[in-house]
Amino acid sequence: MTKQSVVVPEVAVPMPPNSAPLLPYPPPRAAPGVAVRKKYLQAQLDLGAGLPLINGWVESMRASSPTHAKAAAALAAAGAVDDERAAWMVRHPSALSKFEQIVAASKGKKIVMFLDYDGTLSPIVDDPDSAFMSDTMRRAGRSVAKHFRRCRDKVFEFVKLAELYYAGSHGMDIKGPAKASRHNKAKAKGVLFQPASEFLPMIEQVHDSLIERTKCIPGAKVENNKFCVSVHFRCVDEKSWSTLADIVKAELKDYPKLKLTQGRMVFEIRPTIKWDKGKALEFLLESLGFADCTNVLPVYIGDDRTDEDAFKVLRKRGQGIGILVSKYPKDTNASYSLQEPAEVMEFLLRLVEWERLSRARPKW
Ligand SMILES: O=P(O)(O)OC[C@H]1O[C@H](O[C@H]2O[C@H](CO)[C@@H](O)[C@H](O)[C@H]2O)[C@H](O)[C@@H](O)[C@@H]1O
């Protein structure tokens, strides 16, 4: 299965007639006096840079997934789970419980929705090839798309976005609508942007070589994600983690133009180009003609540390809303949180429903 981030075009959210006063947006990142257990959060944070900061590789591999039993046990032993989670939730409230606040922030604006795939639309599973979206999530996606199509006839900008945009390989493989519309001749061929295309042969080589080199590690899975090679260790016995890390690092020595980062129980080998999901988000906003629009509210939902680049971009622009999908406290640039894909689905459906009702309400 190709792993892609999905950009659902727009959801127009008209001004609510009796909207509550706007709460400060974005919510503050850190509440004064809230103690953050640095070690745990640092472990969460450092991996995106590919430089494990605590106790070497195995420790960083362990920290890459807070669902890992030992990490959870360590937190529980410190007796800090509930306190930490409560403090974190103050800083990153649930997008469901603050739904009214979010739609109020979109007052008079159109929402452009950016959705990560793994861990956001589909649950995290052991086998990356089985990370399917549930039928109910698909129905939710369809509702958003259907809702969009309804708007398309009415608003010119919508027509430009008549189909979904996909950004795979951490934003290095962007594909837009292929169909022309009568309003949208310039985009007839769609947006296709692959800033790392020269790396394709190199990525292939690394993929093939790592398949061979990791054969001795039961449970290791090497995935070719076109512009990125993923080496999964979710099903590898922890005793073999350092060997696996050594294999991956040794492979990279021959490729100075590639770098190593980590995701959730996965090593990722990718080009050292200055491109990430944040840049992809900016590129898409630009391509869609939304870069300088004050009447557009980008909403980005993602679960991984690679999504932090997109959250950072929104925060820096002071435009849009970042929502992190996580059950566990993580250092994040997102403003809100959702616990799991089921909550993402609920949020999407509520948004569609809210918009439907807003349209039905009389405008005074
Ligand atoms: O940042 P993303 O676009 O979400 O991609 C990150 C990785 O996602 C996938 O791996 C993750 O999901 C797998 C399936 O649930 C899970 O087994 C794995 O442990 C997770 O890391 C994808 O398979 C990787 O290639 C991506 O790098």
pLDDT, tens digit, 9 for 90 and up, residues 24-75: 334 444 433 333 333 333 333 333 334 444 457 888 888 877 655 555 565 5
Residue that wins the pLDDT comparison between 252 and 293: 252
Query: What is the fold, at CATH topology level, of the domain defined by 94-193+291-360?
Result: Rossmann fold (3.40.50)
Average pLDDT over residues 181-199: 67
Instruction: Quote the CA–CA distance of 18 and 3 in Å, as a whole number.
Output: 41
Kindly indicate the confidence band of residue 80, based on its pLDDT and cuts at 50, 70 and 90: low
Whole-number Å distance, alpha carbon 128 to ligand 1 midpoint, is: 6
Cβ of 4 below 6 Å from ligand 1: no
Query: Which of 75-80's residues contact partners 24+ apart within 8 Å by CB, and which partners?
Result: 75/40, 78/37, 80/37
| Phi, psi torsion values for 109, nearest 5 degrees | -115, 165
Distance in Å from the first CA to the final CA of the chain: 49
What's domain 197-271's superfamily in CATH? Answer: Trehalose-6-phosphate phosphatase related protein; domain 2 (3.30.70.1020)
13-25 confidence digits (pLDDT tens): 333 333 322 333 3
- 51-65, 157-171, 226-240, range with the lowest pLDDT: 157-171
Residue 310 structure tokens? 């997109």
Q: How confident is the model at residue 356 (pLDDT cuts 50, 70, 90)?
A: confident
| Matching residue, tokens 């042969």 | 201
Higher pLDDT, 140 or 179: 140
Strand partners, 165: 7
Which is more confident, 107 or 326? 326
Give residue 31's pLDDT. Answer: 39
Is residue 157 lining ligand 1, measured as CB closer than 6 Å?
A: no
Above 50 in pLDDT, residue 201? Answer: yes
**pLDDT score of 179:** 55
Query: ipTM surpassing 0.90, yes or no?
Result: yes
Domains of the chain, by residue range, sit at 94-193+291-360, 197-271
Q: Spell out a b/e string for 250-278, using b for 16 or more CB atoms within 10 Å of the CB, else e.
A: ebbeebeebebbbbbbbbbbbbeeebbbb
Q: Is the CB of 304 under 6 A from ligand 1?
A: yes
- Strand segments, DSSP code E, in 23-179 are 109-115, 165-168, 173-175
Confidence grade of residue 256 (pLDDT, cut at 50, 70, 90): very high
Question: Could you report the per-residue pLDDT of 100-128, keeping only the tens digit for each?
Answer: 999 999 888 888 888 888 899 888 989 88
Which atom of ligand 1 has the smallest separation from the CA of 263? 21
Q: Which is more confidently placed, 155 or 9?
A: 9
232 ligand 1 Cβ < 6 A:
yes
Please state the pTM of the whole predicted model: 0.81
